A and B are shown apart, each in its own frame.
Chain A
Amino acid sequence: MASDRAVIETAGLWKCYDDVEALRGLDLQVPSGSIFGFLGKNGAGKTTTIKVLLGMSRPTRGEAHVFGHSSAESHSSVEIRRRSAFVSDEKDLYDYMTVGEIVAFTRSFYPRWRGDLEQQYLRKFDLQLSRNIKGLSRGTRTKLAMLLALCRGAELLLLDEPTSGLDPAMAEDMLQALVAHVGREGSTVFFSSHQLSEVEQIADHVAIIDQGQAIVAGALDDLRSQYQRIHLVFENDAPEIKVRAAGTHRVRRQGRVVTILSSSRGDAVIEELRGYKPATFEVSPVTLKDIFLESVRTEA
């Protein structure tokens, strides 16, 4: 199912709300068949991005395409939503309906609705058709929202913080269900999260967004092998270090220690740093959490 074709493509995407710039030139490419983790701090622009992709918000400038359709146009955004499923952060559904009624309601919009999956997930998530949505716990509501998304026969699942508010056991169940579904159906998943562990657990591609811009993006394995942390310890106070070589993400200086996050495997950065003659020099691999924290950390 996977191919190199991008299901989601944004180019120079800006979204301004009054005087707030939620997105500031976001460039993004989500390959078909991937599980794409979209990481960022609160307020980084994750939810805004999803809303723009689904045509819920109009971009101020720039372009957003899903399945090659512009999300800014009313009718093409309908086509995007016909082929996509979305689960919002809050998982709010219609309180005045029962589980059975909202399943029937949602089913009516999707000709490719999977009745077999509906029965399967009703059993798996222990959802009773006669229960009123108003009385459901947040966890059960999340399960119902996931059922409504997974049964649509969607080629793309857009999930905004899919496990927020769930206890670890329930979050794990949900992720397993998602991975199994994607493995079976071959859908593309684009999910936002600030739970780094779950992104690392299921994603094969990630992008880190900060202040409305994608600052890191790529295949997770490539990022892990590409990024490295370099520790330099000096005998006295560390000198101010300016690295000219490409691929230096962040330099932090604290007393005698300088820590550098490099996104380049090449030796140029290392060679350049050795020129500062540190007392010790150490290169170590980084986790996704390291990449995330180093990328979005604001200098004190």
Chain B
Amino acid sequence: MLWQKAWRETRWRFMSALLVLTMMAGSNVFDYLATQRLLPHLTATTETPVAEASGLAGMIREAIELQKDFRGFIWYQAFRQNLTQMGVFFAVLLGCGGLLHESSKGSALFTLSLPVTRKQLLGARAGTGLAQLFAIAMVPPLAIPLLAPSIGQHFTIVDALAHGLCLFFVGAVFFSLASFLSTMFTDIWRPMLIAIGIACALAVVSFAVPPLNIFSVMNGESYFKTGSLPWAGFLTSAVIATALLYSAAETMERRDF
């Protein structure tokens, strides 16, 4: 029943996330044709060979090249941008809240009077949240192979699942970060703002130090370019997420209500 409680507390966030991300993935599919019609007009930018373009021009040039075929377009628009950025936001949103937030609404004492440990409470919430995160990481990518035939394109289910895994593993880090921060603040806004602030800081750092680019794991860049899943990135993400959830459980265990 703790699972049911956790589900009831987060179901609207989950369903909003699922709807928004699936619509985003779907709209990316239908954007492809319009983009293809525009690409020939970008001759001025495409005149410079890729190898010679640098800085912003190089990035624009690379973006145009990538989006010339459907797979590249979907990776660039959906996985590299929309689903990664919004995926971080919704992972954080799902991770916020919990027992401490309940205390601000008054129902925490009822929850704490039940014959369960705080670790069980946090475990049920984390388990439910991670299951929801898995769904919002997998379902939107799967909409792409489903909708692609309607515009005469093809996207494999295997590619969709591979990118879904990438979204899930790194999303779990941000989910766990928000869960950990939620053991320190009674409202959900501060954990959310701090977690999103950390995500923005990581995005900035990743420009300066590319090996620390957690978002390249999340957007499945290595899978897109080489066909191999970022196993090291998955492992690192899993370790960080586990450490954060363990810290959240320990912090909650020590807290007075």
Contact = CB atoms under 8 A, between A and B. Distances in A.
B109 A56 contact: yes
B114 A57 contact: no
B209 interface: no
Nearest to A54: B113
B256 A58 contact: yes
Contacts of B8: 94, 96-97
B118 A74 contact: yes
Interface in A74-109: 74-75, 78-79, 81-82, 84-86, 88, 90, 92-97, 105-106, 108-109
Contacts of B253: 74
B54 interface: no
A74 B115 contact: no
B115 A96 contact: no
B107 A93 contact: yes
Interface in B61-117: 105-107, 109-110, 112-117
A74 B105 CA distance: 24
A256 B56 CA distance: 95
A92 B9 contact: no
A200 B107 CA distance: 30
A95 B114 CA distance: 17
B114 to A, nearest CB: 5
B110 A57 contact: no
Contacts of B106: 88, 90, 92
B115 A82 contact: yes
B1 interface: yes
B110 A88 contact: yes
Contacts of B117: 74-75, 78
A198 B116 CA distance: 32
A60 B253 CA distance: 15
A142 to B, nearest CB: 13
A56 B5 contact: no
A57 B112 CA distance: 10
A111 B116 CA distance: 14
A78 B121 CA distance: 12
Nearest to B256: A57
Nearest to B12: A96
Contacts of A105: 1, 4-5
Nearest to B112: A56
22 contacts: A17-B256, A51-B109, A51-B257, A54-B113, A55-B112, A56-B256, A74-B117, A79-B115, A81-B114, A81-B115, A84-B113, A86-B109, A92-B105, A93-B107, A93-B110, A94-B8, A94-B110, A95-B105, A96-B9, A105-B4, A109-B114, A145-B110
Interface of A: 17, 51, 54-58, 74-75, 78-79, 81-82, 84-86, 88, 90, 92-97, 105-106, 108-110, 145
Interface of B: 1, 4-5, 8-9, 105-107, 109-110, 112-119, 253-254, 256-257
Q: Which 9 A-B pairs have the closest CB atoms?
A: A92-B106, A82-B115, A86-B113, A57-B256, A108-B1, A88-B109, A81-B115, A56-B257, A92-B107
